[in-house]
Copies of this chain bind each other. A is one copy, B any other.
Amino acid sequence: MRPRSSRRSRAGNTIADVAREAGVSLMTVSRVMNGKANVREETRERVEAAIKALNYSPSAAARNLAAASEVRIGLLYSNPSAGYLNEFLVGSLDQASRANVQLVVQLCENKEDRAEIVRRLIDGGVDGLILPPPLCDADDIHQLLQEAEVPAVVVASGRPPVFLSSVNIDDRAAAAAMTLHLVKLGHKRIGFISGNPDQTASALRLYGYLDALGEAGQVSDPALVVEGLFTYRSGLDAAQQLLALEERPTAIFASNDDMAAAVVSVAHRMGLDVPGDLTVVGFDDAPQATTTWPELTTIRQPIADMSRAAVIQLVEDIRTSRDGRRLAPRHAQMTFELIQRESDAAPAA
């Protein structure tokens, strides 16, 4: 009787092939692949050569199964600006495939069925959740996660709950840096369009603006601060309000690029040149920032890096809690960058 036909389907080689090629045991190959310590340098090199020679790549399924470490994480998003989500997805996907974890991307639009969706994800076997803005500030979700003892990482929240890990930039310092930049250009009347009050980062950016003004010894005229919602439309309204002011600002700092683009649009329709008559700056370095004219000076958040970091942190949290160890949420802070493009200039004399 001939051996029953193999059930293999992957064209690729298996770890056994590599072991044979290198003249070592399976385990040694496994150790090399996982970067374990106890392998002699010479052996390691031999195995690596064999891996390269056979063009071997391990089966994620088998790995997960054997290591009993199948990790599935959910990425819950609502409707942030498209560019943000895009970059966020790319980063987390990349990291997820690197870390060999399955990423479940779930849309969650209305507030009503949030709880339902989260519960279903958890019941469905997700081991942890990533919450990009604006869901990063959804208290009801936090609550749910704490009760279910499901680890999660909130990203770009201004006020992350203590029991969840978080990844942020220092919104306050970033807004202060941008404001200071405007002050240094010589602007005395700097308008500010704040973000959606539902998102905690909004307040931080406002504080940053105020910090810088204070530091520069400028008084902050309350009329120069207008509330927006992070949407283009709200930016339109806010810009109209600011530019209708008797003593018009010479610069406007919008809390995100969508609103900044709206400001530019309004300025143009009023016949104002940007940046000749009005400096406009944004925040986020969204695609908007470069698909508008003039291109926007803005604050760059390393979104992809942040989402990557979130995945790493979450996987760590999940493994911790699986081992029965106590979860110790960590709060990471990434660095921002002020990107100067063409929408800012010194005020007209």
Q: Quick check: A293 and B236 within 8 Å, CB to CB?
A: yes
Q: Quick check: A10 and B293 within 8 Å, CB to CB?
A: no
> Bound state CA distance, A8 and B70, in angstroms?
10
Contacts of A72 in B (CB 8 A): 60
Q: A35-43, A84-92, A168-176: which one contacts chain B?
A: A84-92
Closest to A64 in B: B61
Contacts of A293 in B (CB 8 A): 232, 236, 262, 265
A34 contacts chain B at the CB level, 8 A cutoff: no
Question: In the assembled complex, how far is the CB of residue A256 from the closest CB belonging to chain B, in whole angstroms?
Answer: 11
Most chain B C-beta atoms within 10 Å of own C-beta, residue among A7, A82, A90: A82
Closest to A88 in B: B86
Total count of chain A residues near the partner, CB < 8 A = 56
> Bound state CA distance, A65 and B10, in angstroms?
10
> Bound state CA distance, A209 and B320, in angstroms?
60
Contacts A64-B61, A291-B258; is A69 near B9 (CB within 8 Å)? yes
A335 contacts chain B at the CB level, 8 A cutoff: no
Q: A100-108, A139-147, A151-159, A189-197: which one contacts chain B?
A: A100-108
A217 contacts chain B at the CB level, 8 A cutoff: no
Q: Quick check: B82 and A107 within 8 Å, CB to CB?
A: no
A68 contacts chain B at the CB level, 8 A cutoff: yes
Q: Quick check: A60 and B68 within 8 Å, CB to CB?
A: no
Q: So how many copies of this chain end up in the complex?
A: 2
Q: Quick check: A125 and B68 within 8 Å, CB to CB?
A: no
> Bound state CA distance, A75 and B104, in angstroms?
17
> Bound state CA distance, A249 and B322, in angstroms?
66
> Bound state CA distance, A90 and B108, in angstroms?
13
Binary contact track A206-224/B, C-beta < 8 Å → 1, others 0 = 0000000000000000000
Residues 34-93 of A at the B interface (beta carbon under 8 Å): 55, 57, 59-65, 68-70, 72, 81-83, 85-87, 89-90, 93
Q: Quick check: B81 and A70 within 8 Å, CB to CB?
A: no
Q: Quick check: B105 and A57 within 8 Å, CB to CB?
A: no
Q: Quick check: B107 and A90 within 8 Å, CB to CB?
A: yes
> Bound state CA distance, A287 and B55, in angstroms?
42
A97 contacts chain B at the CB level, 8 A cutoff: yes
Set B124, B262, B268: member contacting A265, Cβ < 8 A: B268
Closest to A79 in B: B287
Q: Quick check: B59 and A65 within 8 Å, CB to CB?
A: yes
> Bound state CA distance, A332 and B288, in angstroms?
32
A sample of 13 cross-chain residue pairs with beta-carbon separation below 8 angstroms, ordered by A number, consists of: A8-B68, A57-B124, A57-B125, A59-B70, A60-B70, A82-B86, A89-B93, A232-B292, A261-B292, A265-B292, A265-B293, A268-B268, A268-B269
A9-B69, A232-B291 are known; give 7 further A-B pairs, CB within 8 A. A8-B68, A9-B70, A10-B70, A60-B72, A61-B62, A61-B64, A83-B86
